Amino acid sequence: MSNPTKANDRDAAVRALLVDTVAQTPRRRRRWRLPTIAGAVVCVLGGAAAGGAITAAANPDPAAIAAQNRAAIVIGGAGSPYQEVVGTPVGRVGSAEETITVGRAPSGADTFRWVATCRTSGTLSEWRSGKVWGTGPCEAGSTASNTYSAKEIAGRQIRIAADRDLGWTLSYGWLRTPPMPEASAAQDEAMDDGIVTRSEYLAAFDRFQGCMTARGESLGRIPTSSLFVAYAASDAYALDWCIASEFDAVDATWQGEHPAPPGADEGTWGSQQYDPAADPRYAR
């Protein structure tokens, strides 16, 4: 008999594994499109040097040399644009499988990431601690990736396996995320009773906008009549800084209080007009 919890975990792992690299500027945040690797550096793939031994220098064909030369660009471009590459990422070409032995994080690094670009089509899987953490189809030219925190992955092994001799270009390495602020006193106060009301939600968004203005950025004119607000900014670091300080916990709680009903499209849920009469518990 199948285990639904394990099935759900597997689905989540697949979604985490198979993520196409996208441009990050201008940065858009619509939390009801639940984050991502984006959003927030949740899982960082680790490790410094699964093998400094496996480098383009040890395999001096043109494709391997190109992979090594582009590794830092690939790793740095797959996440938040303000993350900085630490050390020398590894670039490698191959097929079948590759084991990444994650060493200790270099000084200043807090995140490890791998990115695989499939050169032919097949199925790509990620294994950790002897278990499959994600698997799914990878078409020629598409990209799969995963990210881990240094605390989670340092000292472990990650195995990237492909069927049918699927050809891939693999890049992996460490990054540093600039520090983010703690939640402001006003945001903490709004969270004190464990409930976020509509007035607290909009007040937190006003503080978020004020924070952006103080940092020389603007969210523009954002309608606040929908259930969830949506916003965009060109400076991703300023955006995430102000979100952490003024809006993140309040926004997450408000959205948790208003989940998408069964069958609703989570990609558009939250864009409808807010109706206080239908929300008596939180409308105040």
**What one-character-per-residue DSSP string does the chain give?**
---HHHHHHHHHHHHHH-------SSEEE-TTS---TTTS--S----TTTTTTSSGGGS-SHHHHHHHHHHHHHHHHSS-TT-EEEEEEEEEEEESEEEEE--PPPTT--EEEEEEEESS-EEEEEEETTEEEEEEEE-TT-EEEEEEEHHHHTT-EEEEEESTT-EEEEEEEEEEPPP-PPPPHHHHHHHTTS---HHHHHHHHHHHHHHHHHTT----S----BSS--EEES-HHHHHHHIIIIIHHHHHHHHHHSPPPTT--TTTTT-SBP-GGG-TTT--
- Determine phi and psi for 131, rounding to 5 degrees: -125, 150
Tell me the per-residue pLDDT of 86-139, one tens digit each, with 9 for 90 and over: 989 999 898 888 888 898 899 989 889 999 999 888 888 888 888 888 888 888
Decide which of 147, 176, 205 is a domain's last residue. Answer: 176
Claim to verify: residue 165 and residue 217 sit in the same structural domain? no
Rg (CA), the chain: 21
Claim to verify: residue 123 and residue 18 sit in the same structural domain? yes
For residue 35, is it within any domain? yes
Tell me the per-residue pLDDT of 52-73, one tens digit each, with 9 for 90 and over: 333 434 446 888 899 999 989 9
**Token pair recorded at residue 166:** 């699927």
Decide which of 143, 176, 209 is a domain's last residue. Answer: 176
Claim to verify: residue 10 and residue 140 sit in the same structural domain? yes
Claim to verify: residue 30 and residue 170 sit in the same structural domain? yes
Claim to verify: residue 27 and residue 116 sit in the same structural domain? yes
Does the pLDDT of residue 40 top 60, yes or no? no
CA 78 – CA 23 distance, rounded (Å): 8
| Helices 248-257, 198-214: inter-axial angle, 10-degree rounding | 150
Claim to verify: residue 121 and residue 207 sit in the same structural domain? no
What integer is the mean pLDDT of 208-236? 90
- The parent domain of residue 75 ranges over 4-176
Q: What is the pLDDT of residue 129?
A: 80
What integer is the mean pLDDT of 158-173? 86
Q: How many CA atoms lie within 13 A of 44 on its CB side?
A: 28
Claim to verify: residue 212 and residue 164 sit in the same structural domain? no
CA 191 – CA 262 distance, rounded (Å): 27
Tell me what the pLDDT averaged over the chain comes to: 78
**Percent of the chain whose predicted confidence (pLDDT) is above 90:** 34
Identify the burial level of 209 via C-beta atoms within 10 angstroms of its C-beta, where 0-12 means exposed, 13-18 middle and 19 or more buried: buried
Claim to verify: residue 273 and residue 133 sit in the same structural domain? no
Largest CA distance in the chain: 68
Overall number of domains in the chain = 2
What integer is the mean pLDDT of 255-259? 93
For residue 283, is it within any domain? no
**Token pair recorded at residue 151:** 């605390």
Claim to verify: residue 142 and residue 266 sit in the same structural domain? no
pTM: 0.58
Q: What is the pLDDT of residue 164?
A: 67
Q: Does residue 35 have a cis bond before it (omega within 30 degrees)?
A: no
Q: Specify which residues 147 forms β-bridges with.
A: 113
For residue 284, is it within any domain? no
- Determine phi and psi for 172, rounding to 5 degrees: -155, 155
Claim to verify: residue 124 and residue 165 sit in the same structural domain? yes
Decide which of 146, 176, 206 is a domain's last residue. Answer: 176
Claim to verify: residue 126 and residue 259 sit in the same structural domain? no
CA 279 – CA 254 distance, rounded (Å): 12
- C-alpha 2: how far from its chain's center? 29
Q: What is the pLDDT of residue 50?
A: 37
